[in-house]
Amino acid sequence: MPVGVRFVTGGTSGLWVIVPAYNEESAIGGTLAGLRPYMPNVLVVDDGSSDRTGRIARRRGAIVLRHVANLGQGAALQTGIDAALAWGARMVCTFDADGQHDVGAIARMVDMQRQSGADVVLASRFLSGQARIPPVRRFVLGLALKFTRMQTRLSVTDTHNGLRLLTREAAKRIRIRQNGMAHASELLSEIAAKRLSYVEVPSTVTYTRYSLRKGQSVFDSVKILFDIVYAAWSR
């Protein structure tokens, strides 16, 4: 095992890594190449991709479920959680397809869960003092954070991090109904509403040119803000 992917308190048995993916053919292969050597159970939910995302994921050793139409990341996560629970998962980890997360963080989160007994472990870019977050992104995340904190009264430090770990119990109780990006704040609302316990662990995010182009345009940031307000209003 390379440096960084080391479990202190146990292995990966019963852990399912759920990777929602929509048209990620240029990144999914690399992401899975990083994951698969350490994670035996990787489930990619191909959210109606029109490219070769599903085929590549299968070839890289992931189990692939496919949405016949594009529903959004929230819907893909819920489908993945349903499947993982049916397959007897004891923990589920959500992991972005674009390769921005670090596999070692999963091990740290599993350890954190086992030590703390928390229902949910959230990764945070801001606990790690990561300085290299693009300014526009930082500004929007800051606004999203203030709004979500106000709404859910959770004292989280990062509301839109795709890396999370849920225990089986938490995954069963949380239900994602926001199909789009608003699921990120909805998930926090669910944690608050169902009184689940949570801890945060620091994690860095690698902003590649690809991930910046893919998910983080100024327009998308504005959309996230809109989605948060919308989710709060339509609950």
Partner 1 sequence: MIVSVLLAALLLIGLYVASHRVGGVQAIVALAVLACGIVLVVFPGLTSAIASTLNVGRGTDLLLYFAVICGLFLAAHFYFRFKRQDATMTELVRAIALRGVMPDGPPPSLASRDEFGGSAAS
Q: Does residue 82 belong to the site contacting partner 1 (CB under 8 A)?
A: yes
Q: How far is the CB of 177 from partner 1 (least distance, A)?
A: 8
Going along the chain, which residue ranges are E strands? 15-21, 42-47, 63-67, 91-94, 120-124, 164-167, 198-202
Does 40 engage in binding with partner 1 (CB under 8 A)? yes
Interaction between residue 103 and partner 1 (CB under 8 A): no
The smaller minimum CB distance to partner 1, of residues 42 and 141, is found at 42
Full DSSP string of 48-71: S-SSSHHHHHHHTT-EEEEESS--
The reply on whether position 87 binds partner 1 by CB under 8 A is: yes
Restricted to residues 108-167, the positions that interact with partner 1 (CB under 8 A) are none
Using rule CB under 8 A, residue 41 touches partner 1: yes
Order of strands, sheet of 91-94, starting from the edge strand that comes earlier in the sequence = 63-67, 42-47, 15-21, 91-94, 164-167, 120-124, 198-202
Q: Does 104 bind partner 1 (CB under 8 A)?
A: no
Q: List residues binding partner 1 (CB under 8 A).
A: 29-30, 32-33, 36-37, 40-41, 45, 48, 58-63, 65-69, 71, 75, 78-79, 82-83, 86-88, 177, 179
